[in-house]
Structure 1
Amino acid sequence: MMRYHNSIAAAVLGVAIAAPAHADSQVEVNIAAGRLDSAIFVLGEQAGISIGLADPRMGARRVPGIKGRMTSHQALTRLLAGSGTRPQRVDARHWRIVAIPKRNKRAKRKEKRRAYAAAKPLPSPPVIHPEIVVTGQLVHNNIQTDAAGSRLSLSLDDIGPSAEVRGTDALLETLPSLSSTQLGPGRNRLFIRGIADSSFNGPNQAVSGQYLGEARLNYNAPDPDLRLIDLNRIEVYQGPQGTRFGAGTLGGVIKMVPNAVQLNEVSGKASLAFAATQHGDPSADANATFNIPLIDGSMGIRTSIYGGRQGGYIDDRRRGLKDVNRMDTIGGRFMFRADPGAGWTVDVMAAGQEIDGRDGQYADREGDKLDRATPFAQPYRNRFALGQLVVRKQWDEMELITAINVVDQKVSETFDLTLPAFEPFFPEQPGLFRQRGNIRLFTSETRLSRSLDNGGSWFLGTSLVNNRYRIRRSVESEFFNNGIAGIENETNEATAFGEITWPLSNRLMVNVGGRISHVWLDGKAMDLPTFALVALDTGSKRNQTDFLPSFGVQYQVAKGLTGHVRYQEGFRAAGIAVRDDQVERFRNDKVAAIEAGLVFSSGGETGFDAGISVAHTKWDDIQADLIGNDGLPGTLNIGRGRIWTIDGTMNWRPLPGLSIEASAIWSNSRLTEPAETVVVGEPEAEFADELPEGAVFVQSNNLPNVSDFSGRMAIGYTSALSDDLDLSLSAWGRYIGESRLGIGPILDVKQGDFIDTGLSASLDFGRRSIWLEASNVFNATGNRFALGSPFTLPFGDQITPLRPRTIRIGFDAKF
């Protein structure tokens, strides 16, 4: 595989890396006639810009409805026609609406004479041509909004025609800087730009935060793997984001932005897709979205429902079963919006999803790498529910957002615990390990932001978090059924954060921010065995306070070329874990990241956008999970590490409708100062007695689940075959580099080092479309994740293969 590795590395790095959305890109605009203040609020959401009023009294003026694809400037010009106002650009993504000065009669006569003397016809108004583009969203006070490495923004069109019938895997195939474990949808951990800690879901906070709109989805829960249904865009913020979000995660934030409720039209969409998988069962998916105004221009609802079955492709030799890893998904989302005017908006959202996996999706190396031999099924289930209330108020150039969210997630898992036979003394001992996790999360975030006349901005935010995590575990075998030690943790967090962005010149902009958090942790062990040798106290209470600064500089080197430098810190609270039936406490960990980058954008229908960013992350007291003597994962502070990354994307448009894209990330992660209980390599015999009790031996100082290199290349072509028919074609290939499963002798196994490919074609008839997609075109097996059950891992190689070659056909209809 090294031949593929080197060739793709050279190709991707040779064409550069990281392209932002262009500030003057055309976006889909649909605004009803009505008040100006309500119209600009909707336009700001749809175009990803900030719009202020020079005089709040302008908000009551009536404006016409507009609809179509156009730039922000074109949309504002059409919206304000005849209103006595005009748009004034503050910077690339900030606009200000000002009054048109009234002219006296003398000025009017002079203007008339000049027009008559010129004897020229006035230019016709610009024609707005339809165009499919990548849209972005304004991130208030983010000095790297358009800088490489800060924010990656993509629409469902960028992911592919099957985006809506898939979940996180579709994002993983598109963004090399995003990686994941592969235990199965609904129980994976997500990692951004090399910040990866563990292959298991445990009591420690996830290193990557997730949002649906303004709703925070996780604290220490696995990725719920929500379907990408009815989304406006997906944003990935790389690196610590403690001064921009209530979620102060170490690695970054993934934000899914749903399409907003439209208050002036009845509309909807329905999709149906079928798939055939080589060596597997067929799959089917369906979804529908409806938008219904309740009071025209003031109140409406938008709802989505979906469901699907993903056919299995893993066989079980021992049980004689085919395609055991079938998975069913069902879910939906309901949104209500009220717009009473005067800049107020109230949004209510409820969402739910259930993933039911019939068996694990791993295989072994003894068969054809698409089968295994186990005595039991290993099903899992994820039940996710969300409730959200968001209140917004917008004045002139200031905005207040308050969001209250409640999340309930239940994850149940089953693992094979069978011990192999050691004849003639020990027969095989079949067994199952069951784990049930219950996570309840309450969050409240409030942010006040303002855009300044000089192009700068500021915002202040507060966040309150209450997270309850409970996990119960049990063992079932022929000889005994027994509950084993579990954990119950409650975390309360109060945080204040903010940033200010200030231009020092036309080219230079600086940014300073900070975050202060106080965390209360109350943890205890549950269901401890009576014979366990544990400390007298089985719980832990802690209070922790930390301050995290951030600062950055952005400089326009030349037209279309911008550079940036940014420093940011991240913090994760301490806690307790149970390992070998012992209650253990682990310290909080902290990261400090500095990144620098350049981004170039030529803009236009044809042109070239590219950029590159380099980041160095220092990670202290790393919290990682290891497998103990009882076969169970437990959390341990393994020491201090560092991560170097180079990442970004490129987009070249040599001809109208033709685009060539490339993206890549190179990572180098090391455990530089192991903890006293972590020993790299085999210890010398004469010093073995000097090692601390419970020492862990690791073969490599590489951090887990971090690929050394991953890259992706894609080519796409779009053409209008007629007034009512568009054709789109695309092809892509990606390489996932080699990584290791985890820390310790049992987890020190290789994974990754494979190539995946895909093709797609679609015909768009306006309100109807049909598409065809092929994934894993060359039917590669690969090894996405080297773990199926931690208990049987020491007795044989486990792999998680790619889904075999799959052909999917879909139909979409809009109304």
Structure 2
Amino acid sequence: MRRRADLLFVAAAILASATPAQAADRQSISIAPGRLGEAAIALGRQTGASIGMSDQALAGLATQGVEGSLTVEAALKRLLKGTRATARRIDARTWRIERMRIASAPAASPAPPVPPAPAPEAPPAEIIVTASKRDTPLPRYAGMVEALDNGVFTSAQAASGTATLLARIASLSSTHAGNGRNKLFIRAIADSGVAGPTQATTGQYLGDMRLNYAAPDPDLKLYDVGRVEVLEGPQGTLYGAGSLGGIIRIMPNAPNLGDYGGQVSAGLSATQHGDPGGDLSATLNLPIVAEKLALRVVGYGVQEGGYIDDVNRGEDDVNRVRTWGGRAALRFAPDENWTIDLNGVYQHIDGDDAQYATRSVGRLQRASAVSQPYFSDYLLANLRIERQWDSLRFVSSTGYVRHELAESYDATQPGSAPALFRQDNKVDIFSTENRLVRDLDNGLGWILGAAYLQSTSDIHRSLTSYGTAAVLPEIIPNVPVIGSGRAAPATGVRNSVKEATLFGEASFEPVKGLIATIGGRLTNSRLSGEALEPVAALSSVDIARAEAQADRNETIFLPSASLLTDAIPDVTLYARFQQGFRPGGLAVDDQRVRRYQNDRISTFELGFRKGVPGRDPLALSANVAYTDWRDIQADVTDRIGLPTTANIGDGRIYTVEGRIVLRPLSALTLDGSFIYNDSKLSRPAQFLRALSYEGESLSLPNVANLGGRLALDYRMALAQDMSLHLNGAARYVGKSRLGVGPILGQTQGDYVDTSLTASITRGPVQYSLSLTNLLDSNGNRFSLGTPFDLRSDYYTPLRPRTLRIGIDFAF
């Protein structure tokens, strides 16, 4: 995995002894196959030589291993064999890896063309867990991690965004209210399926910049993404609040300082029972000053055809979704030790209508009185600065996010005029993190950092009735019903949090073969909340009391510890303990403003890992975890049916998961994984205790009891410049409940989702054909329709069988 420190310059001048070895001395060298960036660092550490490179693209080249008693020059020649790079000696101890220059040949008589020799297969690279913030090799990482590199993202999968990650990772789950409206859960750390003001349980990052806080998944498209890492949680020490279940870290491809290039892709899709769709994207990399300054720009547009019919309004395929947006990255490298990145992201999602259907009406049908459109606007700006001193790195990341999600729900009551409830959530996030990292051999080292985050969430609500009678019946208690399509405000809420944090983590080897890691995060949170546009019936005294309770300071320390051993060859055993938390805030419950307090989670896990997926013929991993969750925050519904947040009590979760990856042939990979969850609300809050059966506890919401995935991947060379790639997968999602209690107790899940993709690449052009939901299953992904009617048999169906044809062109 490409190290962040290698993006412009790899400085590996670590002294092997008090007297530096000369370049001509033979030394014992042992370097595993992997990326050139990691290999150069390892060679520098083992020999005391300083080895640099100014073109970040070279750091990602695959290299063969080197073993034996060699000089630095000989080792470099072996590492660079078959690559497009060469090594130039600067002085007795310093080498520079450069892009190989191909001299122009003098004019001569044309010779018969000679077919190029087949390129040797690049050795699989070592997996580096960069989301650990210390670039830890996978065998030395204590925990469950999924790492997806750019080889798995076709243009069709990039267009699907988060849905692609859900299809590939068994421990990742989601609600399915619509693109940009979903809550993501890792492992079984799920609070509820309703969207309220509470903070997410899963942290999402673009590089080092936080994507979300008190809002759903922004569902950024995965175009020009080099890697995605999913770390199971809690991840409180390194990532702080909102990482109870874990984190998802998306790493876009960085600007290339040396090469001009890009890619264009286009696709057309046809959905059975629905409308056609399409997608278009373009990527351009533009070096402005060679090896100093470069710009990389990505733009895209995606339309997903609708497939749900509204029989009451006589409209077909109402749930069409359009997404468009892009990213821009500017990289400046003033010298070999500095990297400065300026990044920007914008994405807009426009949904014509809600995504749910009603079983009693018919397959892929419902009967609504009004349309329920929604939109999501997402804007991000980030400045990242990195400075490298040999094995020491300083990283500073500062940025701003503006995220607005506007939703609408059918609020029509039986026998009444059509009505629509709207909710608009505007979230602003400012965050900065500054850390100092020292990476030593084999995952040893330390990190020390400070961070500050400020987030404000404004939720505005309104009710619109389209009735024209002189007197209209009340829909929400104490909220006026004006009629004639005019909106009346309902009580909203503003929550603000300011977090100042110090964190640190260190890994050391007390005895050979045993690595201990300890860490901690100290966070001071300043919380405040207030009611927005309160209805006239609300008592100003009650509002003032709730706001006073919400205005408070909290200081929390989150410890972490792990033990790991690789004393058994090619096997890693580990034990890990870590905590996480979410701050409290204000919520509106039955048009009253109430406070909810912070929750805290503690997880202890045992696991093992054998081999590295994609590198070894057999790779195994398994994990058993126990989670204790106190004062669980959950987005629930109040007596009226509106989303609100409350502490629902204490819970516990047992989790067992495993994965096996086989490579019976160099071209064939078989991948199987499963996860089993047993969750209970062991001590329900007072308002939920009446719902518990005698001697039995309630299950936590949105936690499937069982999930699994089977996949195959086959790659074959058809000719000198032509290759075939086949990929097929089937994922099972087990049963879960929408929420807590009989009203939100509807079941969901228990379905199989399937996909098949084939692509042929010839030179710079790739032709692809993909098919999703091969069986045209009608499985229920999510049982919530409109919160104003929680007793109908709503379900959110899988997208019906969809065929896509696409073409990609690289230049």
Which of the five TM-score ranges fits, normalised by the shorter chain? Answer: 0.7 to 0.9
Give a deviation string over 1:530-565, Cα, whole Å, max 9, x none.
113461515130100010100000011421111000
In structure 2, the residue matched to 1:369 is: 363
Give a deviation string over 1:111-134, Cα, whole Å, max 9, x none.
xxxxxxxxxxxxxxx984246779
Gaps of 5+ in 2: 15-32, 80-88, 95-117, 473-480, 483-487
In structure 2, the residue matched to 1:798 is: 794
The correspondence for 1:600, drawn from 581, 599, 610, is 610
Change (3 A) 1:321 1:47: farther
1:527 and 2:533 are equivalent in the alignment:
yes
Give a deviation string over 1:70-98, Cα, whole Å, max 9, x none.
237579x99974899999xxxxxxxxx99
Task: Give the whole-Å Cα distance in 2 for the aligned partners of 1:65 and 1:320.
Answer: 55
1:458 and 2:438 are equivalent in the alignment:
no
1:504 and 2:497 are equivalent in the alignment:
no
Change (3 A) 1:347 1:49: farther
1:813 and 2:809 are equivalent in the alignment:
yes
Is the contact between residue 135 and residue 154 of structure 1 (CA under 8 Å) also seen in structure 2? no
In structure 2, the residue matched to 1:180 is: 174
Is the contact between residue 12 and residue 50 of structure 2 (CA under 8 Å) also seen in structure 1? no
Give a deviation string over 1:621-641, Cα, whole Å, max 9, x none.
001122112221221111110
Task: Give the whole-Å Cα distance in 2 for the aligned partners of 1:472 and 1:716.
Answer: 47
1:711 and 2:699 are equivalent in the alignment:
no
Is the contact between residue 262 and residue 293 of structure 1 (CA under 8 Å) also seen in structure 2? yes
1:762 and 2:759 are equivalent in the alignment:
yes
Change (3 A) 1:536 1:741: closer
Tell me by how many angstroms 1:656 deviates.
2.0
Is the contact between residue 242 and residue 497 of structure 1 (CA under 8 Å) also seen in structure 2? no
Change (3 A) 1:260 1:39: farther
Task: Give the whole-Å Cα distance in 2 for the aligned partners of 1:209 and 1:347.
Answer: 22
Tell me by how many angstroms 1:498 deviates.
1.0
In structure 2, the residue matched to 1:211 is: 205
Is the contact between residue 520 and residue 558 of structure 2 (CA under 8 Å) also seen in structure 1? yes
Give a deviation string over 1:229-261, Cα, whole Å, max 9, x none.
101110001011122235552111100001111
Give a deviation string over 1:456-502, Cα, whole Å, max 9, x none.
20001111000010010011112324211100111100011110000
In structure 2, the residue matched to 1:308 is: 302
Helix, strand or coil for the counterpart of 2:286?
strand
1:129 and 2:121 are equivalent in the alignment:
yes
Task: Give the whole-Å Cα distance in 1 for the aligned partners of 2:716 and 2:794.
Answer: 45
In structure 1, the residue matched to 2:581 is: 571
Give a deviation string over 1:706-731, Cα, whole Å, max 9, x none.
00001000112111111111111122
Give a deviation string over 1:492-517, Cα, whole Å, max 9, x none.
00011110000123311110000000
Matched to 2:774, the amino acid is V
Matched to 1:496, the amino acid is L
1:550 and 2:550 are equivalent in the alignment:
no
Matched to 1:521, the amino acid is L
Change (3 A) 1:403 1:418: same
Helix, strand or coil for the counterpart of 1:341?
coil
Helix, strand or coil for the counterpart of 1:504?
strand
TM-score by length of 1: 0.84
Change (3 A) 1:218 1:67: closer
Tell which deviates more after alignment, 461-470 or 200-209: 200-209
In structure 2, the residue matched to 1:617 is: 627
In structure 2, the residue matched to 1:469 is: 457
Is the contact between residue 124 and residue 615 of structure 2 (CA under 8 Å) also seen in structure 1? no
TM-score by length of 2: 0.84
Matched to 2:194, the amino acid is F
The correspondence for 2:398, drawn from 377, 398, 404, is 404
Matched to 2:231, the amino acid is Y
Matched to 1:415, the amino acid is Y
In structure 2, the residue matched to 1:513 is: 519
The correspondence for 1:145, drawn from 115, 138, 147, is 138
Tell which deviates more after alignment, 190-199 or 66-75: 66-75
Tell which deviates more after alignment, 698-707 or 462-471: 698-707
**How many pairs align?**
734
Task: Give the whole-Å Cα distance in 2 for the aligned partners of 1:242 and 1:405.
Answer: 20
Is the contact between residue 680 and residue 699 of structure 1 (CA under 8 Å) also seen in structure 2? no
Task: Give the whole-Å Cα distance in 2 for the aligned partners of 1:78 and 1:182.
Answer: 57
In structure 1, the residue matched to 2:648 is: 638
Q: Where do 1:263-274 residues align within 5 Å?
A: 263-274=257-268
In structure 1, the residue matched to 2:315 is: 321
In structure 2, the residue matched to 1:433 is: 421
Task: Give the whole-Å Cα distance in 1 for the aligned partners of 2:654 and 2:671.
Answer: 24
Is the contact between residue 10 and residue 40 of structure 2 (CA under 8 Å) also seen in structure 1? no
Task: Give the whole-Å Cα distance in 2 for the aligned partners of 1:316 and 1:381.
Answer: 20
Q: Where do 1:101-250 residues align within 5 Å?
A: 128-130=120-122, 136-138=128-130, 139-141=132-134, 145-146=138-139, 147=141, 149-158=143-152, 162-246=156-240, 249-250=243-244
Tell me by how many angstroms 1:745 deviates.
2.6
Matched to 1:798, the amino acid is Y
In structure 2, the residue matched to 1:745 is: 742
Give a deviation string over 1:508-529, Cα, whole Å, max 9, x none.
1110000000000110111111
Task: Give the whole-Å Cα distance in 2 for the aligned partners of 1:517 and 1:629.
Answer: 35
Helix, strand or coil for the counterpart of 1:51?
helix
Helix, strand or coil for the counterpart of 1:173?
helix
Tell me by how many angstroms 1:453 deviates.
5.8
Is the contact between residue 649 and residue 663 of structure 1 (CA under 8 Å) also seen in structure 2? yes
Task: Give the whole-Å Cα distance in 2 for the aligned partners of 1:639 and 1:200.
Answer: 17
Task: Give the whole-Å Cα distance in 2 for the aligned partners of 1:257 and 1:244.
Answer: 17
Task: Give the whole-Å Cα distance in 1 for the aligned partners of 2:744 and 2:331.
Answer: 49
Tell me by how many angstroms 1:760 deviates.
1.2
Task: Give the whole-Å Cα distance in 1 for the aligned partners of 2:313 and 2:396.
Answer: 54
Higher relative contact order (CA 8 A, sep 6+): 1
Matched to 1:51, the amino acid is I
1:387 and 2:381 are equivalent in the alignment:
yes
Give a deviation string over 1:344-402, Cα, whole Å, max 9, x none.
11000011000000000100012332010001110000000000000000000000000
1:442 and 2:448 are equivalent in the alignment:
no
Helix, strand or coil for the counterpart of 1:270?
strand
Change (3 A) 1:467 1:662: same
Is the contact between residue 358 and residue 793 of structure 2 (CA under 8 Å) also seen in structure 1? yes
Is the contact between residue 326 and residue 346 of structure 2 (CA under 8 Å) also seen in structure 1? yes
Task: Give the whole-Å Cα distance in 1 for the aligned partners of 2:91 and 2:620.
Answer: 38
Task: Give the whole-Å Cα distance in 1 for the aligned partners of 2:3 and 2:551.
Answer: 52
Is the contact between residue 304 and residue 321 of structure 2 (CA under 8 Å) also seen in structure 1? yes
Report the identity percentage. Answer: 39
Is the contact between residue 48 and residue 136 of structure 1 (CA under 8 Å) also seen in structure 2? no
Is the contact between residue 148 and residue 599 of structure 1 (CA under 8 Å) also seen in structure 2? no
Tell me by how many angstroms 1:744 deviates.
2.8
Alpha-carbon RMSD across the aligned residues, in angstroms, is 3.4
1:668 and 2:660 are equivalent in the alignment:
no
Matched to 2:583, the amino acid is A
The correspondence for 1:71, drawn from 54, 58, 63, is 63
Is the contact between residue 445 and residue 464 of structure 1 (CA under 8 Å) also seen in structure 2? yes
Is the contact between residue 156 and residue 163 of structure 1 (CA under 8 Å) also seen in structure 2? no
Task: Give the whole-Å Cα distance in 1 for the aligned partners of 2:64 and 2:449.
Answer: 28
Helix, strand or coil for the counterpart of 2:339?
strand
In structure 1, the residue matched to 2:29 is: none
Tell me by how many angstroms 1:777 deviates.
0.3
Helix, strand or coil for the counterpart of 2:163?
helix
